[in-house]
Structure 1
Amino acid sequence: MGNAIFVVWRESLEAFLIAGILFAWLQANHDDGRGKRALLLGLAGGVGLALLLGWGLLTVQDELTGQALEVFQTAMLFVAAGLITQMVLWMRRHGRTIKARLHADLTLAATRSGHLGVAVVAALAVAREGAETVIFLYGLAQGGEMQSLLIGSLIGLAAAALTAWLAAKSLARLNLPLLLRLSAILLLIISSALLVAALDRLIGDGTLPPLIDPVWNSAWLIDDTSQAGKLFADFTGYRARPALSELLIWAGYWMLVAFFWRKTAHA
């Protein structure tokens, strides 16, 4: 549940902030009300596109069985891990200019297509965040406990709305940039956990050789089969008895992330 709360909070917060930026642009340009209605229509359309993607994923899953289903679910874990990583690094590179980019897109769209252009920009912006959320949640759902995932998603959505409201009202001295930077690091940790979950599947079906299994046994410190240990393992990707191939790929992931993290800082 914890991962779902955090992922939905982070992605929904970005969607709320984008909606706020677009609304502020309309306010500044003396909108007569039609632009705001187009904005709401676009936001609803973006959510609808994300839900359509979710329906498509579930439909594909229902059509698959046996090995094909296993391959699809494992692939979606890799896709979710990759998307989280790409999103975090993209936001680190472009986060400071996203407001200007949205304003430029909205100005161009409004000039060319009027209120329809406003709706399209809003729909595409929110659909991007929504589609990422759907794929992330699908990856998290591979661990089961759908009820907890649903509850966590609703809590995350409510928390995002509250955070956006606090940011808009400047209450409690909310340092939103710092909050987003810290959440980016936590998202990368969740991404690495999804990567490890996918590697577990590949090792389990014999696709990926373990090399040495296990390299060590740290169950005496944190047992990932206990209730508390499983929560920690689900969030971080920790394994008490890791295989060597798993460790090497995990270490390679963090080396790549560190490289691109430093590179985006100077972009």
Structure 2
Amino acid sequence: MIVAPMIISLREGIEAALVIAVMLSYLRRSGQHDLKRFVVWGAIIAVIASVGVALAMNLIWGIVEGPILATFEGVVVLLAALLLTTMILWMWNAGASITSEIEESVERKSLSQSGAGIALLSFSLVMREGVELVLFTAALVIQEGLGTYIGMTLGLLIAIGLGAAIYQGSLRISLGSLFRWTSVFLILVAAGMVAYGVHELQEAGLLLIGPLEMWNINPPPLPDGTFPLLHENGLIGGLAKAIFGYNGNPSFLEVTGYGLYLLGVLVYYLRKNRVRPVGNLSEAEEVAKSVSA
């Protein structure tokens, strides 16, 4: 299934692209074109370092097995869910301040003609997105398999194209709406990650609290050995499992984790919205205006 990984990598890629675009745009407006190359080099080194993190995780996968592997996978999936949630909440809270904060950081570095400082700033901002994407990819590979890489690649290619078009000023799209609707989708994905992470830890013999099967609504396999559409391994059930972590026979802790996660995010959203309408997702539009100026 490629939908969830494509949307995740699209968002991460757009965030990284907009960060670079803001930095390059500020240097362009201030006439400091000689410092642009440091932004690019910082981003390139961050991408290479992110690949290194991915290779290190693959090495660990090749070494561990059995309960240790299940524990490792459970921790990776739960950590990915935490980072995904952090990313969503960050976008809710960000407001237009992110653009100004990045520009102020670039201004401080550029005033001292610190090419190394510009490169380090670019590296740190892009590296954060890269490490998050590596963890998300790992979590989705655990859940969905190698098809994750196809979705991730498509999402990144689209993000690169959008970032370049926005920087050149040739494209105006409602990125705020894009982030708003993908946030709803990704909250459900993260809830599924929480449930799946708990499942993996229970497979490792940990968190054995409550019934290990609350119910089983999976229909029996068909006579030819295939699975019905609504079975978690069937066409529809498998799609729901791959994207939202659907499980036809969940444990008590899986159901509890899934429900508490959604409840917690909903309560946070309602409290935040009661104080201030969540119109700050238009941060993306603010960035787009800034880089096209």
Q: TM-score, normalised by structure 1?
A: 0.89
Structure 1 residue 210 displacement after superposition: 4.3
User: What is aligned with 1:197?
Assistant: 196
Q: Which moved more, 1:156-165 or 1:82-91?
A: 156-165
User: What is aligned with 1:6?
Assistant: 7
1:142-181 mapped onto 2 (5 Å cutoff): 142-143=142-143, 145-146=145-146, 148-168=147-167, 169=169, 171=171, 174-181=173-180
CA distance in 1, matches of 2:156, 2:245: 24
CA distance in 2, matches of 1:93, 1:213: 38
Pairing 1:124–2:132 present: no
1:95-122 CA distance string (max 9 Å, x none)? 4211011111112223346111111111
Structure 1 residue 20 displacement after superposition: 0.8
Indicate conservation of the 8 Å contact 2:47/2:130, yes or no.
Answer: yes
Residue of structure 2 aligned with 1:256, choices 257, 264, 279 = 264
Identity over aligned pairs, percent: 22
Indicate conservation of the 8 Å contact 1:166/1:174, yes or no.
Answer: no
Structure 1 residue 144 displacement after superposition: 5.4
Q: Which moved more, 1:217-226 or 1:243-252?
A: 217-226
Structure 1 residue 257 displacement after superposition: 1.1
Structure 1 residue 263 displacement after superposition: 4.2
Indicate how the Cα distance of structure 1 residues 210 and 22 shifts in structure 2: closer, same or farther if over 3 A, else same: same
1:200-215 mapped onto 2 (5 Å cutoff): 200-207=199-206, 208-211=208-211, 213-215=213-215
Q: TM-score, normalised by structure 2?
A: 0.82
Q: Name the one with the larger helix percent.
A: 1
SS at match of 2:96: helix
Unpaired stretches in structure 1, ≥5 consecutive residues: none
1:3-57 CA distance string (max 9 Å, x none)? 22111111001111111111111011101x3211111111111112211211221
Residue identity matched to 2:173 = L
CA distance in 2, matches of 1:118, 1:137: 28
CA distance in 2, matches of 1:113, 1:254: 47
Structure 1 residue 189 displacement after superposition: 1.4
Unpaired stretches in structure 2, ≥5 consecutive residues: 220-227, 277-293
User: What is aligned with 2:99?
Assistant: 99
CA distance in 2, matches of 1:66, 1:241: 22
CA distance in 1, matches of 2:41, 2:165: 25
Pairing 1:183–2:175 present: no
CA distance in 2, matches of 1:188, 1:121: 29
Pairing 1:60–2:60 present: yes
Indicate how the Cα distance of structure 1 residues 139 and 113 shifts in structure 2: closer, same or farther if over 3 A, else same: farther
